[in-house]
Amino acid sequence: MRFAGRTVGWSAGLTAVLCAVVTVSAGIGPVWIPPGAVAKVLLNAVAVPTGVSLSGLALDVSTTRLFAYPVTDLQTQIVMKVRLPRILLGAVVGFSLAAAGTIMQGIFRNPMADPSIIGVSSGAAVGAVGYIVAPVAIPLGLGLRGAAFAGAILAAFGVYLIATRNGETPVATLLLAGVAVQTFLGAVVSFLLLQSGESIRQALFWLMGHLKGASWPEVASSVLLVAVPFVVLLAYARDLNVMLLGEEDAQSLGIEVERTKRVLLALSSVVTAAGVAVAGIIGFVGLIVPHVMRLLVGPDHRILLPTAALAGASFLVATDTLARSGSAEVPVGIVTAALGAPFFLYLLRKREVREL
Amino acid sequence: MSGAGDDADPAPDRRGPMLDVADLSVTFGDQRVLSGVDFDVERGTLVGLVGPNGAGKTTVLRTVKGTLEPDGGTVRVDGEPVADRSAKAVGRLVASTPQGTDLSFDFTVRQTVEMGRTPHLGRFDRMGECDHTAVETAMERASVDRFADRPFTSLSGGERQRVLLARALAQETPVLLLDEPTANLDINHAVRTLELVRSLVADGKTAVAAIHDLNLAARYCDELVLLADGAVRAAGRPSDVLTSDTLRDAFDAETLVTTQPGTDAPLVTPLAEREAVDRQVHVVGTGAPAADALASLVGADCRVSVGVVPAGDAAAERAADLDCEAVTVPAFAGVDDTARERAVALARAADAVVVAGAVGDGNAPVVEAGRVRLGVETDGRDGPDDAPSGLVGDTVPLAALPAAVATLPPPVETDAAAPLGQSSTD
């Protein structure tokens, strides 16, 4: 009970931090809106369903807004139409990268693993740059995002297949297969960039990772893609703890190791791909955030997974605010790496990581 | 209906062996690690797996806990093949302590022990009252409760091993597998660990331990299984399994097997590997010094005889253990002529006579019959070496005895020419 309380406490605290970061971030931009006003705009937008009616084939849900604070139309427009989609998308991407990073570090029993270790990001890069260079019609209007997502999943699945023999996937093989496939896909991306001509700028911008041009439908689809696997991952948190003892021990403690690894790899790949597909390659969030949270809350994944995910959301929203608040916008991937790498080196020197 | 069901799926036989390993074979790639391993373990006993490095002890344990699928043969726990059970079901039957665990994340001792409850919990279950009780009991029993809240990685090797044992106890299984439970432990903790295992076995658990230390294994295990080159070389009571012959066969090493003081468990003393010394030696003396000299010479492959010694003397008993020829007389009876003549004949035929420990006047002619006479330093522990002082030439420490014998001139062709042969080489 004490433990469950700790999990809830930390999660609630970090959710509050996330709300605060979102509120402040939505006020920052060419037009400054004070946090109080942003909060009022956000509260005005809260609606609860009050009734359902069937008209023809469409299901009509009538909603009632709970609050009606006096705010200007301009403020509402800026917050709701311009800034909030991007901020929420940043939150979802940060959430997904940190969650997937936590899982990967657990599977690989290595605090230096990151979400793209099995080739997800490189696969997404090939998909995205390939689409930019030679756009093909992808149904459902998925376009760039769809190509990136498909590339990510294919790469992860390919690495998994390469590393699997007789139904067993040793993590060392998985790691090395991931490195090799990433190198190969990196070469493919370089080749595609050479062929990109006019669109090289767009391709490079994607590769650097950014959240520009986010829209509400994108937010909705990525929330869905991240939320469902994340709930399942939470249910596997204890299994992941036991896996940290080593696969041999985990098996003798009743964990079906290979099946668990498959589930965890598949779900965390989907979560990572959902993030990378909309935001491009954003480094260090999935590496640093789980690492720092492990120092704060300990290695138990039942508390580490939700808290790392929430902290990742806040971290990316904050860094993206920094990225877009300068005179010229910088891709957020540059900001996370520029902040994250020195901090990581500081940790490395301080904690002296002796074992990998 | 139930009759048909019973035929198809007979209830496990509660009186059969807890663990039944039949015709087990395992190959890694081209390498055959186990072939035709057969043994079983009765309920409520502690069985030790012994054997040289690479004999397949750990592999046997891995197949029993279901983490390694054998290429052939079956392992039955409580009557049912392990292969037919889920990992969870095996985890409720068999707990194991690994040789070591490299944990790169800082779980506390309590968290580590709590993981032992995993096989008892469903995916969405929380630890209940009985789970917490099991964890506390296990930590107390393995005496790791003192550092329950310390990180596992901050513990010493021996402490970690006890935490892993506590984790296995928290599983509350009828079968306990221990892979080198004493490997990193000092003698005190090694004995305490095995005493703990004994008390668990007394409470009804069945335990199998791979143990390197033959003497600890002999002392604590009800039965031993001696593995070498992936096959069972001997199995049964420790005194039947640990003999010089089986050990030579399994370890390719010379050993001296006696009895551990205060118990009837065998005591294995490895003898240092030496060049075989092809000499015939007659030992004169009594007590421990003479017994040690016999063991040392036999270990070096000398042909050894002893006498005259009183029956029941340590030297006489050791001679019987080692299959040496001994000339004995009844205790306190003194040396009679027949015995003295036999001993003199042996001494004369030998390349050297070794004097170790107290020698009475009755044996003086035996010593004098030797062509070369060597004394063994006794550290003054067993009687004064007054009698032989005038009789022996050089005195050497026990450890140097085989080497000293080896430097003697090679055996001569005929007994009659012996004195001449020796003087000619001088």
DSSP conformational letter for A199: G
What are the chain B neighbours of A293 within 8 Å (beta carbons)?
Answer: none
Residue A104 CB neighbour total at 10 angstroms: 28
| pLDDT given for residue B389 in this prediction | 53
Reported as a single tens digit per residue, the pLDDT across A34-77 is 999 999 999 888 877 777 777 766 777 777 887 888 888 888 88
CA distance A236 to chain B (A): 7
CB A83 within 8 A of CB A217: no
Residue A351 banded pLDDT, cuts 50, 70, 90? low
Candidates A132, A90, A355; CA nearest to A226 is: A90
CA nearest to A295 within chain B: B106
Among A73-77, A306-310, B74-78, B357-361, which range has the highest average pLDDT?
A: A306-310
**Section B308-330 average pLDDT:** 84
CATH superfamily label, B8-258? P-loop containing nucleotide triphosphate hydrolases (3.40.50.300)
Residue B321 banded pLDDT, cuts 50, 70, 90? confident
CA nearest to B87 within chain A: A254
Reported as a single tens digit per residue, the pLDDT across B17-29 is 899 999 999 988 8
Long-range contact set of residues A78-82: C-beta below 8 Å, sequence gap at least 24: A78/A29, A78/A31, A78/A33, A79/A26, A79/A33, A79/A38, A79/A41, A79/A42, A80/A41, A80/A45, A82/A29
The tokens of B262 are what?
Answer: 């205060």
| pLDDT given for residue B421 in this prediction | 39
Residue A113 above 60 pLDDT? yes
If DSSP codes are grouped into helix, strand and coil, which group holds residue B261? coil
* DSSP string for residues in B175-217: EEEEESTTTT--HHHHHHHHHHHHHHHHTT-EEEEE-S-HHHH
| pLDDT given for residue B276 in this prediction | 65
Rounded CA separation A354/B168 (Å): 28
CB B151 within 8 A of CB B108: yes
The tokens of A276 are what?
Answer: 């990378």
| pLDDT given for residue B14 in this prediction | 59
Torsion angle, CA of B286/B288/B293/B295, rounded to 10 degrees? 120
| pLDDT given for residue B274 in this prediction | 56
Q: Do B103 and A298 touch (CB under 8 A)?
A: no
CA distance B115 to chain A (A): 6
Domain ranges across chain B: 8-258, 280-425
Rounded CA separation B99/B185 (Å): 12
Residue B83 above 90 pLDDT? no
A315: left (phi over 0), alpha (psi -120 to 50) or beta: alpha
CB A168 within 8 A of CB B67: no
What are the chain B neighbours of A241 within 8 Å (beta carbons)?
Answer: 107, 111, 115
**Section A75-80 average pLDDT:** 90
**Section B42-66 average pLDDT:** 91
Q: Where does A90-351 sit in CATH, by number?
A: 1.10.3470.10
Reported as a single tens digit per residue, the pLDDT across A158-215 is 999 999 988 888 888 999 999 999 999 999 999 999 988 888 888 888 888 888 878 8
Lowest mean pLDDT: which of A135-144, A338-347, B51-60, B155-164? Answer: A135-144
Rounded CA separation B49/B276 (Å): 31
Q: Is A355 on the interface with B (CB under 8 A)?
A: yes
CA distance B11 to chain A (A): 23
Rounded CA separation B112/B107 (Å): 6
**CATH 1.10.3470 describes domain B280-425:** no
Reported as a single tens digit per residue, the pLDDT across B240-281 is 999 888 888 888 887 878 888 778 888 888 776 655 667 888
DSSP conformational letter for B10: P
| Residues near A349 by beta carbon (within 8 Å), at least 6 away in sequence | none
Torsion angle, CA of A301/A307/A313/A318, rounded to 10 degrees? -130
| pLDDT given for residue B102 in this prediction | 67
CA atoms lying within 13 Å on the CB side of residue B153: 12
Q: Do B123 and A235 touch (CB under 8 A)?
A: yes
Best probe of the B interface among A2, A247, A252, A293, by most B CBs < 10 A, is A252
| pLDDT given for residue B382 in this prediction | 46
Lowest mean pLDDT: which of A88-92, B267-271, B342-346? Answer: B267-271
Rounded CA separation A258/A168 (Å): 6
Percentages helix, strand, coil for chain A (3-state, rounded to 5) are 75, 5, 20
What are the chain B neighbours of A355 within 8 Å (beta carbons)?
Answer: 102, 104
Reported as a single tens digit per residue, the pLDDT across B374-405 is 888 766 554 444 444 566 777 777 777 877 77
Candidates B391, B406, B368; CA nearest to B281 is: B406
Residue B120 above 80 pLDDT? yes
Residue A111 above 70 pLDDT? yes
Q: Do A248 and B115 touch (CB under 8 A)?
A: no
| Residues near B48 by beta carbon (within 8 Å), at least 6 away in sequence | B208, B209, B210, B211, B217, B218, B220, B221, B223, B224, B225, B238
Best probe of the A interface among B62, B65, B69, B104, by most A CBs < 10 A, is B104
Rounded CA separation A95/B169 (Å): 39
**Section A255-271 average pLDDT:** 93
**Section B67-73 average pLDDT:** 89
Find where tokens 């039944």 sit. B20
Best probe of the B interface among A253, A256, A297, by most B CBs < 10 A, is A253
End-to-end alpha carbon distance in chain A: 33
| pLDDT given for residue B209 in this prediction | 94
Q: Do B91 and A254 touch (CB under 8 A)?
A: yes
| pLDDT given for residue B390 in this prediction | 61
Rounded CA separation B163/B184 (Å): 13
Q: How far is CA B282 from the centre of its chain?
A: 30
The tokens of A160 are what?
Answer: 């998994």
Best probe of the A interface among B105, B109, B165, B169, by most A CBs < 10 A, is B105
Residue A326 banded pLDDT, cuts 50, 70, 90? confident
Residue A147 above 70 pLDDT? yes
DSSP conformational letter for B11: P
Q: Do B98 and A248 touch (CB under 8 A)?
A: yes
Mean confidence (pLDDT) of chain B:
82
| pLDDT given for residue A51 in this prediction | 75
Q: Is A251 on the interface with B (CB under 8 A)?
A: yes
CA distance B302 to chain A (A): 49
| pLDDT given for residue B272 in this prediction | 66
Classify the C-alpha dihedral B151-B153-B156-B162 as positive or negative: positive
Q: Is A351 on the interface with B (CB under 8 A)?
A: no
Amino acid at A25: S
| pLDDT given for residue A352 in this prediction | 55
| pLDDT given for residue A95 in this prediction | 96
**Section A262-283 average pLDDT:** 91
Residue B3 CB neighbour total at 10 angstroms: 7
| pLDDT given for residue A309 in this prediction | 97
**Section A146-156 average pLDDT:** 92
**Section B343-356 average pLDDT:** 87
The tokens of A352 are what?
Answer: 């002296």
CA dist A47 to A30, A41, A50, A65, A68, Å? 28, 12, 9, 4, 11
| pLDDT given for residue B127 in this prediction | 85
* DSSP string for residues in B97-159: E-S-----S--BHHHHHHGGGGGGS-TTPPP-HHHHHHHHHHHHHTT-GGGTTSBGGGS-HHH
| pLDDT given for residue A139 in this prediction | 60
Domain ranges across chain A: 90-351
Residue B6 banded pLDDT, cuts 50, 70, 90? very low
